[in-house]
Structure 1
C-alpha cells in the first residue's frame, strides 16, 4: 500500500496565466489544509469542489500566494487517491514558492517523472497500455496521432487485447483439463479445438498488426530526408512545408551546411523533416562535413524527398544519387516548374513510377497537394481510415503481439505434429503471458520504472 504523498508542478515552467501544483496521496488534503488560509476547511469539504484562499508559510504564517484549490477525493481522481491541485499565478518564482512550502509537510516528497500516472496504474484505475497512451497524448505531432492516443487512453485498444486474452485463456483451460483428466480426452477433438481456437486468436492478432506500420508512423512521424544537389530548392521546400523560414535560402550553392530538423503535419501525416546540405563533391572542409551528415540522414530516412531542378539537365551527381536510391521509399520532387524545362523527363520516368513523381513550384507554392497525395499513397495506400482509430502504435506492443503470434503458430505446429498436449500448453501459455504484458499483467518492476521514467515531471 502506498503510504507517502507526492507533489510536483504539473504545468510547463515559465511565464503563464496560471500554474498548477498537483498533490496526491494519503496526506494530500490534510497537508494542504495546514497551508491553506480560507473560509473553507479542506478536510471537511466535498469532493470535486474549488476553494479560494491563500497559501501561507507553515512556520511564520506569511501569505505566499493567492490561489484556487481543487479537491478530489479518491477513488474519483486521476490517481484513485486523494488529489489536490493548487492553481497559482503563472511564473517561476510564484509556483516554486508554493511547491517549497508544500514539500515541508509531513510525508510529502517531490514526485518522480510520471509518478502520478504510475499511481493510477498501480491503483488499478488504468492498465499499462492506457498509461503509455498518456505520454502519446502529450507528444502527439498531429490531430490523428492525438485521436489515436486518446482512444487508447480511454481503453479502446485494451478491450480488444483483453478479449483476445480471454480466447487464449479458454484454450489454455481446455488443454489443462485434458492434462488433469486424460481419461476424458478425445485426441482428435483436442487437436482440432487447439487449431481452431488458436486460429481465431491469430486472426485477431493479424488484424491488430495490420495497423502497426501506420500506427507507428502516426505516433513517431516519418523520418523524411530532403536531398539533392545544391540550389535545387531543398531549403525552400522545408520552409514551405513548415510555413516559416526555418532554413536560410540564397542563390549561393552550399548555403546549408548542416542537417536542419523540423516536425510538420502534411494531410494528417506527421513528418520529421531533415533538410540536408547539398550533396556534391567539394573542397570546402565545412561543406564536406555537411555532405557527410547528409549521407547519414539519407541512410536513416524512412522517406526521401529527392529534389531536382526542372530548369537544369541531369547532372552526374544526380544520377549517382538516383542509383543509390534503388529500393528506397522515394518521392521525386521536380521543382522550379515555373521556369523553362531542361530536365530529361524521359530518363526520370524510366526510373520512377508516375505516382512517385511530383511537379512543383515552391516559389509559387504550387503542387503541395500532389506531394501530399504521393506520400499518403506510399505509406497508407492512398487513404487513412477515419473510422477505426484502434491503431497499434507502440513498438513494445507490436513486439509482444508478434511474440504471441509466434507462440500460437508454434502450438498449432506442435498439435499437427502429434506432440504431447502438455508441451503445447507451454506455447499457449506463452502467448497468454505476452498479451498480458501489453496491458501490464505480470510485468516486472524494472519495465514499469523504465516506461514511466519517460514521462514529464508532474504527469
Structure 2
C-alpha cells in the first residue's frame, strides 16, 4: 500500500565520497525523479521497467546540469518500502547532494522524517517491528557478534520465536473457548492438562530469552568498562593494546592522563566502551585532581572494571584505594608488566580481592588473550550459545514486554490452580498473546511506533 505523499532524503553519510544517494519513495516517486533527472537515452524513467539502472544527469528547473548520476528504479512492491522507489546516485559531495535534494522537494516530494522509509516498510508489511528496529542495529554494529545479532533480528530469527509462542497461546485460547461454547462435551479436564503444559512450555521459552537480555544489550550498546589504577601502571598502554592503535599518550611521567578517554574496542567479539581514567593518587594539581575524581565516579558507573597493578613495584596506599574502589563490583584485576623483574605475584593480589586475577604485559601483549576470554565469559554468563545471537533480546523494551507477558501467563496458571472458570484463564492468555504481539508490531499502538522510528537517522 503506497502512502499518499512522496518523501525524499539523503540516504548516505554526510561528507565527501565517491557516491552519495538520495532516496525517493511514494506514489509519485518516479514522476518526481523524472523532473530532476534527464536520462542519456532521452527516455523518461516512467518508460523503463522495474529494477533498472539508468545513466544521465541531474538538472535544475532551467535545464542546467547539476551533476552526473545513475538512477536505480524500483517499482512497487519490489523495493525497500514496497512503494515506488527511485535512488539517485550522485557524486558524494555536500553541495551536489544538497542541491539535488532541494530539487526533489521543488518537484513535489517532501523531506522524509527520521526513520520514515523503514516505517513505511513496516506499515506496508515488508518488515515486522523487531526487524525494523534491527535496521539501525545493523548500521551501528561494532563487532562481528553485534552484527550477527542484528542480522539475525533483521532476517526474522527473533520474530519467528515470538510468533511460535503466540501461535501456541492462541491455540490454547481456541481450546478454552471451544470448551466454553460446548460445555456438554465435558472436556474440561483434558483441556486443562494441555493448556497448563503449553503455558509452562511458553514460560520456559520466555525465561530462556530473558537470560539473553543482558548479553544482547551489551552486544548492541557496548559494555561500559573503566580502566583504573595508580599512575604509571599501564592503563593507557592497555587501552592502546585493546584498540590496537596509539590512542592514548604513554610516557614515564606520572599524571599524563588527566581527563578520561573513551573509545570502543572489539575484545573477543564483545564491544567494550572503554574509559581510560586518570591515575588515582593524591595531587595538588587542580586539573589532575578533577580527573582523579572523575576516575572514581566512573568506577561506580561502569559495568566492568579493569583494575591494573604494577608487578614490578610494591603495593602502595594508592593500590589499597583501588582495592577498596572495586570491592563488591564486577571487576578483573590485572597484574601488568610481567615482562619486568617481578616484585608482586598474582597470589599476593588474590589475598586482597575476590575478583579474577590475570597476569599480563601490555608491552609483549602476554595475557591479553586470557583477558579477552575472561570478558567473553562474563558477557555470555549462564551458558548462552555464542552462535545464536540472532535470537537474543537486545533492548530493555523487549525484555520488559517479555516480563509482562510472562506475568500474564503466571496469572493464568494461578487461575487454573484455584479452578476458576475457563473464561478467566482465557482472559489471562489473551493478555499474554497481545503483549507478545507488541514485539512484532502486530498489537502495538501508534504512539510506540512513532517513538521507535523517531530514534532512526534521516534517510533510513
Unmatched tracts of structure 2, length 5 or more: none
Match of 1:406 in 2: 407
Match of 1:335 in 2: 336
Q: Does structure 2 conserve the Cα–Cα contact (< 8 Å) formed by 1:404 and 1:435?
A: yes
Question: Is 2:362 the counterpart of 1:362?
Answer: yes
Name whichever of 423-432 and 319-328 sits farther off: 319-328
Determine the C-alpha separation between the residues in 2 that align with 1:44 and 1:445.
38
Match of 1:6 in 2: 7
Aligned-pair distance for 1:351?
4.2
Match of 1:89 in 2: 91
Determine the C-alpha separation between the residues in 1 that align with 2:214 and 2:253.
40
Q: Secondary structure at the match of 2:281?
A: coil
Q: Secondary structure at the match of 2:193?
A: helix
Q: Secondary structure at the match of 1:103?
A: helix
Q: Does structure 1 conserve the Cα–Cα contact (< 8 Å) formed by 2:346 and 2:358?
A: no
Aligned-pair distance for 1:162?
0.7
Match of 2:106 in 1: 104
RMSD: 1.9
Aligned-pair distance for 1:387?
5.5
Aligned-pair distance for 1:383?
8.3
Match of 1:63 in 2: 65
Determine the C-alpha separation between the residues in 2 that align with 1:384 and 1:351.
33
Provide the TM-score with structure 1 as the length reference: 0.95
Name whichever of 234-243 and 360-369 sits farther off: 360-369
Aligned-pair distance for 1:352?
4.7
Match of 2:240 in 1: 239
Q: For residues 131-182 of structure 1, give each alpha carbon's deviation from its aligned partner in whole angstroms, at most 9, with x where no partner exists.
A: 0000100110101111221121111211111111100111122223333444
Question: Is 2:53 the counterpart of 1:50?
Answer: yes
Aligned-pair distance for 1:327?
3.0
Match of 1:306 in 2: 307
Q: Does structure 1 conserve the Cα–Cα contact (< 8 Å) formed by 2:305 and 2:330?
A: yes
Match of 2:398 in 1: 397
Aligned length, in residue pairs: 456
Match of 1:324 in 2: 325
Q: Does structure 1 conserve the Cα–Cα contact (< 8 Å) formed by 2:296 and 2:325?
A: no
Match of 2:426 in 1: 425
Determine the C-alpha separation between the residues in 2 that align with 1:423 and 1:387.
37
Determine the C-alpha separation between the residues in 1 that align with 2:178 and 2:103.
60
Aligned-pair distance for 1:294?
1.2
Aligned-pair distance for 1:377?
2.3
Aligned-pair distance for 1:87?
0.6
Match of 1:23 in 2: 24
Unmatched tracts of structure 1, length 5 or more: none
Q: Does structure 2 conserve the Cα–Cα contact (< 8 Å) formed by 1:191 and 1:416?
A: no
Determine the C-alpha separation between the residues in 1 that align with 2:186 and 2:405.
26
Provide the TM-score with structure 2 as the length reference: 0.94
Q: Does structure 2 conserve the Cα–Cα contact (< 8 Å) formed by 1:223 and 1:301?
A: yes
Q: For residues 82-110 of structure 1, give each alpha carbon's deviation from its aligned partner in whole angstroms, at most 9, with x where no partner exists.
A: 0000010110011111111111012x101
Q: Does structure 1 conserve the Cα–Cα contact (< 8 Å) formed by 2:223 and 2:272?
A: yes
Of 44, 48, 57, the match for 1:41? 44
Determine the C-alpha separation between the residues in 2 that align with 1:385 and 1:192.
35
Match of 1:348 in 2: 349
